[in-house]
Amino acid sequence: MKKLDHADILVFMRLKIIILILALLAFLSAAAGGFFYYYSFRKAAFQKIEADAYSRLNLLTDQLSTYLSEHIKPVKTLSGIKELATALNNTNLESIYKANQILDNFTKSLDLEVSYLMDKNGITLCSSNRNAPDSFVGKDFAFRPYYKKAIIGMPATYLALGTTSRKRGVYYSHPVYDETRHNVLGVVVIKASVEFVETKLFPKSDDTLLFIDPDGVIFISNKDNLKFNFLWEPDEKKIQTIENSRQFGNGPWAWTGFSKNQTGYVTDKNNAQYLFSSLGVENYPDWKIINLRNYKAITKQVSKPFVRVIGPATTSVLILTGILVLILYLLGIQEITKRKKAEKKLRLSEERYRHIYHKTPVMLHSIDIKGQIIRVSDHWVEVMGYKRENIIGKPLISFFTPESKKYAINVIFPIFFRTGFCKDIPYTYVKKNGEKMDTLLSCYGVRDENGDVVRSLAVSVDVTEKNHTQKDLQIAKEKLSQYSQDLEQQVKKRTFQLEKAQDNLKNLSKNIIASQEREKALVAGELHDHLGQVLTALRIDAVWVEKFLKRFDENAGNRAGKMCSLIDDTINDVRDMAYRLRPRVLDDLGLVDALESLLSDFENRSNVSCVFKHGEIPKINNTLSTALYRIGQEAVTNSLRHSKATTIIVELKTEDGEIVLLIQDNGCGFDVLNNNGINGFGLEGMRERANLVGGKLDISSRLSQGTSICCKVKVKG
């Protein structure tokens, strides 16, 4: 026997005295306490039996859940094999053959009862039992819940009796998707037998073990006569539900005779009482494992050893007391030995913890309630550059910068010793060589039996380089921001200069166009008023000459007549030139009449149909009316010259506070992007005129589909 030290001997002597006193009290109170002891013993025994039963049920439910769920991943894997999707997409002999081979391999490899593939209508296309008498091929299982769930994309597990094989099994179903993973083509199912589970987890014993469904039908049991019967008395609704589901065959499903009485026990049809324990099974809602233990047998089992001992106990109490003392003595020695072993294990655990603490490559330390360091890791010592004996017992804040020291004393320490936790606290350490190190500290408080924090376990992470990087990044951001601001100022300055130059150019263009219009008006006036009058006077004289010469010489008279015709043509040409330079109708009657006159003139001088539409137009200034007239004139002229159009439509209207001039033709069109320009004002001339009056010109054209030119100018109401 292991040699005991002095302290252990003292403990043992005290234990011996206590044991002797207890033995004496046991002798004096044996008779009086026997009665109470029996009932307390009996109660404790029943409690232990109940606890053992629940422990077994917990273990049994975990094992059963594991067994029943072990094929969930395999069926998912099987559903992803492309040959099955091919068989569902294209049902031919080759695709069916390949799918059957895969089902055969899965069934054989996983020791399954059967594997099969169903189409979208629930008809079995392929099955590993296709050659068996109870083959599923061609069978319709669309009524099965596992099919209904899987066909809408929800994998399912289902416990049932096979409608064809008449064998119990666990059905695992999973949808089979097409290549896009969005459309369900069919359902793949594997069935595993529950016979092995029943034999393994529900062994034959005096206790009754049952696995029942939510309606109380017994699916698995260690009593063969109870299978597929109702545990509790069913009503017609439950019977009808089971019959409609066809989950457990065609019945009948008898009642086992078990029922619960008012005392909390379960009785059978012979009025025998049973202790009842029940637990649910994970992943199978409302399915339960039930343990029934015969109350009479348990009572006999509990009472028998006590009765066997209590008889001779009254005549041999002294012997039993001596034996009890000896047993307690040996138990005391054993308890002391166990304590020594426990202490040894505790020391080993502490040494292992200390080794891990010191060798972990991070800065670890612990402080007491005074803030003094009581333990540091080797990495902490190595990083800080101190020796361990120069660290232990010193305040942690003595290794901080003044700012971190103040922050720790005034803020962090009070919070930590109150809550026992802090995380990512920024501190700056000062190493022995004077170098500063930025850290983030997180710590956890170790509490005593009263719940007070007595020491800490802290870890510090070096973030010096990270902080330097962030600081450099911030400086770079500030420089970039300053550069962006300078660049923005330069852009604004340049933009202002460009806008000013553009305004000057715009004013220059406006003055040039205005000057051109004045010159045209002046030339038109001279042509109409002076040259027109001269030609008119000349025509009058030519008519007089014609009449005079005809009296003397017919030929001379005819030549004078031709002179009159030539003068008439010249007068018309002068009138047209004056009109095109500056139509008087624009000044006298306005834009609408000027455009109408323009289109009428173009239509008379060509074979193109010119249509003019207009609405109510507000009064506008001469500059705007001239610009719109010239844009319309240029657009129609270009259309007549280049588009080969047969119809030109010009529309003038007011829309949303804007005057809109729209010119459309059905000509050959052109490529707007690659246009080389048009003689005269051209497209750019029209855009410039529109811009000078504050308008916008849009040109839309496609080859062989005509051209549309739209000018919009905002007018004041």
Spatial CA neighbour of 230 closest among 212, 204, 209: 212
The CA angle 420-423-428, to the nearest 5 degrees, is: 110
Amino acid 570: pLDDT: 82
H or E stretch covering 174: strand 168-177
Q: In terms of pLDDT, which residue wins out, 316 or 698?
A: 698
Q: In terms of pLDDT, which residue wins out, 321 or 406?
A: 406
Query: At 13, is the pLDDT very low, low, confident or very high (cuts 50, 70, 90)?
Result: low
Segment 379-391 mean pLDDT: 87
Q: Which of 431, 462, 493 is the last residue of a domain?
A: 462
Looking at the fold, whether 77 and 178 belong to one and the same domain comes out as: yes
Tell me, what CATH number does 406's domain have? 3.30.450.20
Looking at the fold, whether 454 and 479 belong to one and the same domain comes out as: no
Specify if 526 maps to a domain: yes
Looking at the fold, whether 601 and 703 belong to one and the same domain comes out as: yes
Specify if 242 maps to a domain: no
Looking at the fold, whether 435 and 416 belong to one and the same domain comes out as: yes
569 vs 498: CA distance, rounded Å: 52
Segment 220-247 mean pLDDT: 82
204 vs 214: CA distance, rounded Å: 24
Segment 4-22 mean pLDDT: 63
Amino acid 266: pLDDT: 85
Residue 459 phi, psi (nearest 5): -130, 135
Residue linked to tokens 């009765």? 307
Q: In terms of pLDDT, which residue wins out, 142 or 506?
A: 142
- The amino acid at 508: L
Looking at the fold, whether 86 and 154 belong to one and the same domain comes out as: yes
DSSP secondary structure code for residue 641 in this structure: I
Specify if 440 maps to a domain: yes
CA torsion through residues 618, 623, 625, 631, sign = negative
Query: At 678, is the pLDDT very low, low, confident or very high (cuts 50, 70, 90)?
Result: very low
User: What 3-state DSSP class applies to 221?
Assistant: strand
Among the listed ranges 18-22, 490-494, 621-625, 689-693, which one has the minimum average pLDDT value? 18-22
Segment 546-569 mean pLDDT: 80
Token pair in block for residue 428: 């700056």
Among the listed ranges 524-528, 647-651, 702-706, 708-712, which one has the minimum average pLDDT value? 524-528
Spatial CA neighbour of 375 closest among 434, 459, 447: 459
Q: Please give the C-alpha separations between residue 513 and each of 405, 516, 576, 591, 680, in angstroms, as whole numbers.
A: 81, 5, 21, 18, 13
Q: How far is CA 49 from the centre of its chain?
A: 50
Number of domains making up the chain? 4
556 vs 699: CA distance, rounded Å: 57
Amino acid 4: pLDDT: 47
Looking at the fold, whether 521 and 550 belong to one and the same domain comes out as: yes
Amino acid 680: pLDDT: 42
Looking at the fold, whether 507 and 609 belong to one and the same domain comes out as: no
Q: Which of 427, 462, 497 is the last residue of a domain?
A: 462
Specify if 448 maps to a domain: yes
338-360 pLDDT tens trace: 777 777 777 777 677 677 777 77
DSSP secondary structure code for residue 700 in this structure: E
Segment 85-89 mean pLDDT: 88
369 in Cβ contact with 450 (< 8 Å): no
| Mean pLDDT taken over the chain | 80
Looking at the fold, whether 443 and 390 belong to one and the same domain comes out as: yes
426-485 pLDDT tens trace: 999 998 898 889 999 999 888 888 888 888 888 888 888 888 888 888 888 888 888 888
Specify if 212 maps to a domain: no
Query: At 295, is the pLDDT very low, low, confident or very high (cuts 50, 70, 90)?
Result: confident
Specify if 9 maps to a domain: no
Looking at the fold, whether 626 and 600 belong to one and the same domain comes out as: yes
Segment 116-136 mean pLDDT: 89
Query: At 36, is the pLDDT very low, low, confident or very high (cuts 50, 70, 90)?
Result: low
Amino acid 681: pLDDT: 47
What is the biggest distance separating any 2 CA atoms in the chain, rounded to whole angstroms? Answer: 191
- Cis before residue 305, ω within 30 degrees of 0? no
Check whether 173 has a pLDDT greater than 90.
yes
Check whether 679 has a pLDDT greater than 50.
no
| Most confident residue range from 15-24, 246-255, 423-432 | 423-432
Q: What's the full length of the chain, in residues?
A: 717
Specify if 342 maps to a domain: no
Looking at the fold, whether 418 and 496 belong to one and the same domain comes out as: no
Amino acid 325: pLDDT: 61
Tell me, what CATH number does 700's domain have? 3.30.565.10
73 vs 76: CA distance, rounded Å: 5
Looking at the fold, whether 491 and 524 belong to one and the same domain comes out as: yes
User: What 3-state DSSP class applies to 122?
Assistant: coil
Query: pTM to 2 decimals?
Result: 0.40
Looking at the fold, whether 504 and 387 belong to one and the same domain comes out as: no
147 vs 184: CA distance, rounded Å: 12
157-169 pLDDT tens trace: 988 888 777 888 8
Residues 362-391, buried b or exposed e (16+ Cβ, 10 A)? ebbbbbeeebbbebbbebbbebbebeeeeb
Burial tier of 227 (Cβ tally within 10 Å: 0-12, 13-18, 19+): middle
712 in Cβ contact with 658 (< 8 Å): yes
The CA angle 265-271-275, to the nearest 5 degrees, is: 25
Q: Which residues contact 691 (CB under 8 A, 6 or more apart)?
A: 506, 697
Q: In terms of pLDDT, which residue wins out, 533 or 549?
A: 549
440 vs 467: CA distance, rounded Å: 11
Check whether 587 has a pLDDT greater than 50.
yes
Amino acid 675: pLDDT: 64
Residue linked to tokens 């933009």? 495
Among the listed ranges 169-178, 405-414, 688-697, which one has the minimum average pLDDT value? 688-697
Amino acid 590: pLDDT: 80
| Most confident residue range from 3-12, 47-56, 100-109, 162-171 | 100-109
Specify if 430 maps to a domain: yes
Amino acid 481: pLDDT: 85
Amino acid 710: pLDDT: 93
Domain of 653? 589-714
